[in-house]
């Protein structure tokens, strides 16, 4: 009983998700929804009107009616056909244009969610697969749902129209009154065809569920092939592949992925073939039964020749509409499951506390930061990356974080920038837990150059300003201070030149070092009191590194500059050095102080010193 109840609740949840998706479409495109509805009604009804007129034409010929009456039937049938077809075509052109960008509208909806969701979700593969599965739907989940809605409604209208038309025909209501035998025979025929349709629906639904399970299981293939496509189609990725002769290794992995994909495709083809076979068998059996039934009725004289044509054609359309309806209902099962995935993605709750306190405005840009018994482990892990960390510093100083790989340095920055919230303890700024501050205002404290920074394929000025509104003097000043201003000034388009040739043939391909300097310039342009540089000189050559270090004071002025560095030479410019090891700060001091102490810093410095001699 509890299992059945759970299944019922799950089904209700799935249908609610689908209703929400369709409701979103209706809310954004009311006109398109009503046009889709109108088109479905027209396409469902007009064939039967034409069939009635054609039946009346045949009976008129048999009865010897005049030319004018017969011509009227012909012209009326063609007129209705033409008008209905024109209306249907115009409506389809309208809402097909809507469907063309429904996916983009839905993509924007998903993107906005991606911009505002907790950062930890972005690093969760399962969460991203929820989105990927929905994005595979033609015209988006909402667009596909509306297409199926139109097809379902058209089939329902066609079925109702057929029933209204066939009841008087098959019960003998047009020739000699109603007979009990005709009624019973009609009911029996309807029951048999109905049973066939129910079996077809169940088969279609079963096939659709299996197909969706396959789609769900191949979501990671889509992510992987997309990743490889970016590498193989990108000049930057090709440099490493060609230098290291790694093309074959990548192609072999791509081949393995595609072999797996093809296996799943074969399964899809087999399931789809069974689904099509069920549809065709149902339609053909229904048509055979209809022909036999109408032939018997004609032999018995209960219906006319024209009514035989109308009746048999209507019955065939009825069975075809029922088969189409069963197919649509099966497809709706896929849409329902995709809708549930999308709903789960869109309704991911914020785990981070939402603060409202405005950040204190200080002219001296000095803020007191405290880590109090801070521990942190990534979601799904049972290992603490940061362990009972206690430290304090004042924003307005220069600092460096050093240590071996995996010691917790980058995680420290993620916690400080509040990409993640701490697992235990708290981080305070000016004595207040940072979780209580308004998040947007808190972010304004920091300008960050991450090690895996991104310079986008947009104009240089927009990259530096992080906006389409660019203060050109400020942007050029930031580029000058980062050491790449002259390079940009020499370009004919200056700040307007596009980075790379991805979308603009006139774009400029900048070197890795130049891009890193642009990332530094972006941090300077933001003019935040706290500048964080994760391996800021990693892509720079030694000479460029010296230039950055020499101009360090000028670049950051009175701001705090926090380095995460493996090149310990950079630490000599910092007043305060934190040495991380296994999630803890084990040493702290200036370069001179730490160099005299026995410990990890001295060990790392002596290991690197020979390269700085």
pLDDT, tens digit, 9 for 90 and up, residues 261-303: 778 778 877 887 777 777 777 767 776 777 777 777 667 666 6
Residue with tokens 């097909």: 96
pLDDT, tens digit, 9 for 90 and up, residues 476-492: 998 988 888 999 999 98
Question: Residue 175: its pLDDT value, please?
Answer: 46
Question: Residue 191: its pLDDT value, please?
Answer: 79
Residue with tokens 């039967």: 48
Q: Across residues 188-201, what is the average pLDDT? A: 76
Maximum mean pLDDT: which of 287-291, 292-296, 311-315, 526-530: 526-530
Residues with Cβ < 8 Å from 578, sequence gap 6 or more?
391, 399, 400, 401, 402, 585, 587, 588
Q: CA 511, CA 494: separation in Å to the nearest integer?
A: 16
Q: CA 322, CA 283: separation in Å to the nearest integer?
A: 9
Radius of gyration, CA atoms only, the chain: 35
Query: What is the assigned CATH class of domain 2-346?
Result: mainly alpha
Q: Where are the domains of the chain?
A: 2-346
pTM of the model: 0.65
Structural contact between residues 516 and 540, judged by C-beta atoms closer than 8 angstroms: yes
Q: Across residues 404-424, what is the average pLDDT? A: 88
Say whether pLDDT at 425 is over 90: yes
Structural contact between residues 583 and 407, judged by C-beta atoms closer than 8 angstroms: yes
First-last CA distance in the chain: 78
The dihedral formed by the CA atoms of 598, 604, 606 and 609, expressed in degrees to the nearest 10:
-150
Residues with Cβ < 8 Å from 158, sequence gap 6 or more?
44, 45, 47, 48, 317, 318, 321
The encoded tokens of residue 389 equal 């960390």
């Amino acid at each position: 009983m509890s299992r059945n109840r759970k299944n019922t609740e799950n089904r209700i949840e799935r249908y609610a998700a689908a209703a929400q998706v369709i409701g979103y479409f209706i809310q954004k495109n009311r006109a398109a929804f009503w046009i889709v509805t109108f088109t479905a009604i027209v396409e469902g009804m007009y064939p039967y009107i034409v069939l009635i007129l054609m039946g009346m034409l045949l009976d008129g010929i048999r009865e010897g009616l005049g030319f004018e009456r017969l011509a009227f039937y012909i012209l009326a049938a063609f007129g209705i056909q033409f008008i209905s077809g024109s209306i249907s075509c115009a409506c389809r052109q309208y809402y097909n244009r809507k469907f063309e960008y429904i996916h983009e509208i839905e993509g924007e909806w998903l993107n906005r969610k991606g911009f505002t969701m907790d950062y930890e979700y972005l690093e969760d593969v399962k969460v991203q697969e929820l989105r990927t599965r929905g994005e595979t739907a033609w015209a988006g989940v909402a667009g596909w749902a509306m297409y199926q809605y139109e097809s379902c409604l058209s089939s329902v209208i066609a079925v109702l129209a057929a029933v209204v038309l066939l009841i008087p025909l098959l019960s003998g209501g047009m020739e000699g009154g109603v007979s009990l035998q005709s009624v019973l025979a009609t009911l029996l025929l309807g029951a048999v065809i109905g049973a066939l349709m129910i079996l077809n629906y169940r088969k279609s639904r079963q096939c659709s569920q299996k197909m969706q399970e396959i789609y769900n299981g191949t979501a990671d293939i889509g992510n992987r092939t997309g990743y490889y496509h970016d590498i193989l189609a990108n000049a930057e990725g090709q440099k490493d592949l060609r230098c290291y002769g790694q093309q074959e290794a990548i192609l072999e992995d791509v081949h393995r992925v595609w072999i797996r994909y093809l296996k799943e495709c074969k399964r899809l083809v087999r399931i789809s073939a069974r689904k099509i076979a069920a549809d065709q068998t149902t339609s053909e059996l229904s048509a055979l039964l209809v022909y036999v039934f109408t032939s018997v009725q004609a032999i018995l004289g209960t219906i006319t020749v024209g009514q035989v044509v109308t009746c048999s054609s209507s019955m065939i359309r009825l069975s075809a509409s029922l088969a189409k309806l069963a197919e649509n209902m099966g497809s709706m099962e896929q849409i329902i499951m995709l809708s549930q995935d999308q709903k789960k993605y869109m309704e991911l709750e914020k785990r981070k506390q939402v603060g409202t306190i405005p950040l204190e405005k200080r002219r001296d840009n000095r803020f007191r930061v405290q880590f109090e018994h801070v521990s942190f482990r990534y979601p799904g892990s049972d290992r603490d990356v940061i362990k009972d960390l206690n430290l304090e510093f004042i924003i307005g100083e220069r600092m460096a974080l050093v240590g071996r790989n995996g010691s917790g340095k980058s995680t420290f920055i993620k916690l400080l920038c509040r990409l993640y919230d701490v697992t235990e303890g708290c981080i305070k700024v000016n004595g207040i837990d940072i979780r209580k501050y308004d998040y947007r205002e808190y972010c304004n404290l920091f300008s960050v150059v991450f090690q895996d920074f991104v310079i986008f394929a947009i104009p240089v000025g927009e990259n530096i300003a992080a906006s389409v509104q660019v203060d050109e003097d400020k942007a050029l000043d930031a580029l000058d201070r980062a050491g790449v201003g002259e390079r940009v000034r020499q370009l004919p388009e200056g700040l307007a030149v596009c980075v790379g040739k991805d979308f603009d043939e006139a774009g400029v391909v900048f070197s890795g070092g130049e891009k890193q300097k642009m990332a530094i310039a972006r941090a300077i342009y933001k003019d935040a009191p706290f500048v964080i540089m994760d391996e800021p000189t990693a892509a720079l050559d030694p000479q460029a590194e010296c230039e950055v270090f020499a101009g360090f004071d000028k670049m950051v002025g009175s701001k705090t500059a926090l380095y995460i560095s493996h090149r310990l030479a950079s630490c000599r410019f910092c007043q305060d050095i934190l040495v991380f090891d296994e999630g803890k700060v084990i040493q702290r001091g200036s370069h001179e102080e730490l160099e005299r102490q026995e410990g990890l810093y001295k060990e790392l410095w002596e290991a690197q010193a020979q390269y700085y001699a």
